[in-house]
Amino acid sequence: MTDDAREFWDGQAATFDREPDHGLLDPAVRRAWADLLLPLVPPAPVSIVDLGCGTGSLAVLLAEAGHEVHGVDLSERMVAAAREKARVAGVRAEFTPGDAADPPCPTASFHVVLARHVLWALPDPGAALARWVDLLKPGGLLVLVEGRWSTGAGLPAARTRDLVLAVRAQAEVEHLTDPALWGRVIEDERYLVVSRR
């Protein structure tokens, strides 16, 4: 990723959590994300890496459930906000500055790789997915939350599924239309892709 991208996300850090699904400040939105993600992952504690973690809202949510969470984000300001969020929540989670496309993490080190609204923004999503799969322990779980936004940016669900199937044997798509996840009614395509093998 470029210095321009890093600077852009550094500039977003102070206001990033104003979006309901970013900050999870509304208890109903937070509960909706917990209800979506926690049943997907194995029982705690398992090791989870949150790639492109932003201000760490999902990482903290998972750490509160007893998981061992590591977040990676290109923006040092986002990482600083995530560390503070974990401190305030009283949970242990590790956050590292780094490129989500090629995270500074050892191979075969996580039970779960999670990325939300990251893949679409990467210059080579296929290469990133191959790297992410390398991070998984045998039998590991890949969880992607993506979308095709009303602006025209993003990835359609079928494209993301095809990208996952190029590096994994299985991919399930679930469309995420529940307004509780987003804090409002949405009209664009937002979805979850889960790959268990």
Going from the first residue of the chain to its last (197 residues), give the mean pLDDT of each consecutive group of 10, the final group possibly shorter: 81 89 95 98 97 97 98 96 97 96 96 96 96 97 96 95 98 98 96 97
pTM: 0.95
CA distances from 148 to 65, 136, 158, 175, 185 (A): 30, 26, 11, 11, 15
> What's the confidence (pLDDT) of residue 2?
75
> What's the confidence (pLDDT) of residue 150?
86
> What's the confidence (pLDDT) of residue 12?
86
> What's the confidence (pLDDT) of residue 3?
82
CA atoms within 13 A on the CB side of 192: 16
What residues contact 32, with CB distance under 8 A and at least 6 apart? 178, 180, 181
> What's the confidence (pLDDT) of residue 5?
85
Among 96, 141, 149, 95, residue whose Cα is nearest residue 121? 149
Q: 71-95 pLDDT, tens per residue?
A: 999 999 999 999 999 999 999 999 9
